[in-house]
Every structure is written in C-alpha cells, then in structure tokens.
Structure 1
Amino acid sequence: MPEPVSGRGRPGYSREDILRAAVDAFNAAGYEATSMGALADRLGVTKSALYHHVSSKEELLDEALDRALDTLGGVIDEVGTCGGGDMERLRLLVRGTTLALCAEAPCVTLLLRLRGNSDVERRAMDRRREYTRTVVDLVSGAQADGDLRADVDPATVGRLLFGMVNSLVEWYRPDGHLSPAELAELTGKMAFGGLVPRS
C-alpha cells in the first residue's frame, strides 16, 4: 500500500502512488474488472478524492502503457543510433529490453496482458508490434551479414527473442538473487549462445 503524502491542505496520494496502485490492481484483477470504486477502496480514499486526481481508469491505463512503451521505445531509439552491425544492435536490444522490463516490470506486465478491447489498448498493441518489427529487421540484417544462421525464419526468431525477455514478468522479482544487469547478461548468453557448451 502506498504511503499517503501531504498535499496542500489535506492528506492524499501523489500521482505516482495512484498510478502504481492502479497498475497493481489491473494486474491482479484485470483491467475490465477493476472499477474506480475498487481502486479508491484499495487506496483508502473516496471516489471523489480519486477523481480529483484522474478522470477515469482509462486515463491511468493509458499512462501506464505509455510508460512501458516509452521505456522500451527508448531502448530501440538508442540501439538505432549506435554503431556496429545489426548483430551488435540485436545484442544491445536484448540486453536493453531486459533492463527496461526489470525497471518497469508492473507496467510491462500490464502491456503484455492487453486484449485490444479499447482504443487505448489497440494503440498500445500497434506500438508493440512496431517494436517487434524492429527486432525482425535486425535479425534479417544479421542473417544477411552472415552473423546469424540463415535457415530460420526472421519473424519467428524475433518473436522468440521478445518472448524470452517478456517471460521475465512471470517470475522476475526486484529482491531476487539476480540483479537486472546479471539477468540481462544471462538473457544475452541464452539468446545467442544457448545451453550447449562450446567444444
């Protein structure tokens, strides 16, 4: 439960507190099943106090999804400006998206559970598909350069790479035995080195 913070004249919650509580509620019960009343109860405030900060739960969903997508998009933008070939960019992308997921795990979890039931969700899913296309393009480029085996479908490889990183939302915990940096290194080894020891 977030700690109340003092506002001007009355106790309340910061926008960040409300967003985090909403994301936790959406992930726990599902977006459709979470009402503004349920969110107010979770925060221990009245609905009118909650509406003082936000206009609707859709506004909170939109903000949470933007946070996840902007974080992932920032990684893609950074990779796009770095030097090196497509294989190096692909390695950096896998590492960067792993770190991004660790940093914004609740929001990314929400993103991955979308069903496309609203305009907000569909827009987010469209952006997510754009990111997947970027990975596929890098796989294709690395294949053309001879840095990746050419007998595998780039689209399938791209989805598998993102799928591996995305699976972290099911078990990653900030207080776990691996730091985000250690996890990012291990993800890269698994993606590009596999489990079989080199002879």
Structure 2
Amino acid sequence: MAAKRDTYTPDSLLTVAARVFNERGYDGTSMEHLSQAAGISKSSIYHHVRGKEELLRRAISRALDELFAVLEEPTAREGRAVDRLEYVVRRTVDVLVAELPYVTLLLRVRGNTDTERWAMRRRREFDQRVAELLRRAAEEGDLRRDLDERLATRLLFGMINSIVEWYRPGHGDRVDGGQLADAVVLTAFAGLRR
C-alpha cells in the first residue's frame, strides 16, 4: 500500500491555521495543534512555512491586502468624498464577509509578536485613510462637521468590526453579505450625513 501523500497546499494550510488561531487564539495554538487539525505531520507543515508566525502573517496579509485593495478601486478614488466613503464602507463589509476567518484573525491581534505589531500599524494606516475621506466629506459639506473624524472612524469601524463576533453565514444567519452592507451603510450614514 502506498504512503498517503501530503495533499495540503499553502492556501489550504492557511485556511486550517486561520480557523485554529481563531478557535484557540494565536498564543494558545501550537504547531502540534495545527498538524492535528490539518491531519498532517508537523514536518509537512514546515515543508510549506517556516513556522507558526509565518502562517499568522500570511493569514493577516490576506485580510489586509483585500482591505487595502478596496482603497485603490476606481469608485474609492474618484468622485465626491462622501460617495467614496460610502463605497469604502460597503466594500469593507464585503471583504469582511468574503474573508471572515482572516479578518476575524486580523481584528484579534494584540501586538504580542512582530507580526501582530506590523498588522496593527497597517490597520491604523487603513483607518487613517478612511478618516481622511470622512474629513474631506465634511469639508465638502456632505457630512456633519460636529463629529471628530477620528472618533467617527473608530465608531464606524467598531460597528463593522463587531460583525465578526456574531455573523455566521451558513449557520442559520439569514442575512447575506449584501443585506449586511446595506444595513451598515444605512445605519452609519443616516447619522453622519447633514
């Protein structure tokens, strides 16, 4: 009988790692936990990555790359700032839904490793770019001027980021990603618009 071949790819291993990190926490996950969850040996994992932190960085990068890509989309770069901001908010929810395990992991990092500190800097950079859009929309007269843009950005993303704690598509959650994005935009912009 032939030996079972390692059928894991870097992407499928990343999927398992994100799930296990989210279940156990990054610090509470060992390479043994990852190998058991993947059903492969630790040496097979090391064939794909140098270690646990590389898996963390790849998983977080997947979320960050998708979020930053939203800021480069034509609708996020052209037109009135309020329309661009609304588009970015809607697309951020889309990314969260499409990449739920990876965004969840990104939102749970606390700065305990070099990778986590890097991720937190990137998250702050993303937030600052959105805050700048909010500021411009207020300057253009489309949003309330009595809100501090950094505070409004934190509140806006607090609402969006909380979705990872309760949204479970395919497990009885009857709201799809589009409905979720519509609800976030309606809730946020009803209070932000002049």
Residue by residue, what CA displacement relative to the aligned partner does 1:125-178 show, whole Å, maximum 9, x if unpaired?
Answer: 111101100111111111111111111111100111111111110111222211
Hey, what does 2:47 align to over in structure 1?
52
Residue 48 of structure 2: SS of its match in structure 1? Answer: coil
Q: 1:127 aligns with which of 102, 107, 122?
A: 122
Tell whether 2:59 aligns with 1:64. Answer: yes
Q: 1:76 aligns with which of 68, 71, 77?
A: 71
Mapped pair 1:92 → 2:87? yes
The secondary structure found in structure 2 opposite 1:12 is coil
Letter of the 2:186 counterpart: K
SS of the residue 2:182 aligns to: helix
Task: Measure how far apart 1:79 and its partner are.
Answer: 5.5
Confirm whether residue 179 of structure 1 aligns to residue 176 of structure 2: yes
Other structure's SS at 2:162 match = helix
Paired residue type of 2:177: P
C-alpha RMSD of the superposition: 1.7
Partner Cα separation in structure 2 for residue 58 and residue 190 of structure 1? 37
Structure-1 residue corresponding to 2:190: 193
Q: Does 1:112 align with 2:112?
A: no
Q: Separation in 1 of the partners of 2:92 and 2:19?
A: 21
Q: Which runs of no fewer than 5 residues in structure 1 stay unpaired?
A: 1-8, 195-199
Q: Name the CA distance, whole Å, in 1 between partners of 2:135 and 2:68.
A: 20
Indicate whether 1:164 and 2:159 are aligned: yes
The letter for the 1-side match of 2:113 is S
1:148-163 to 2 correspondence within 5 Å?
148-163=143-158
Q: Deviations over 1:6-49 (max 9, x none)?
A: xxx82432222211111111111110111111111112222122
* Consecutive unaligned residues in structure 2, runs of 5 or more: none
Amino acid at match of 2:127: T
Contact 2:85 2:130 in 1 (8 A): yes
Contact 1:79 1:89 in 2 (8 A): no
**1:121 to 1:30, Cα distance in 2 relative to 1, 3 A:** same
Give how far 1:119 is off.
Answer: 1.2
Q: Which has the higher helix share?
A: 2
Q: Which runs of 4+ in 1 moved over 4 A?
A: none
How many percent of aligned residue pairs carry the same amino acid?
47
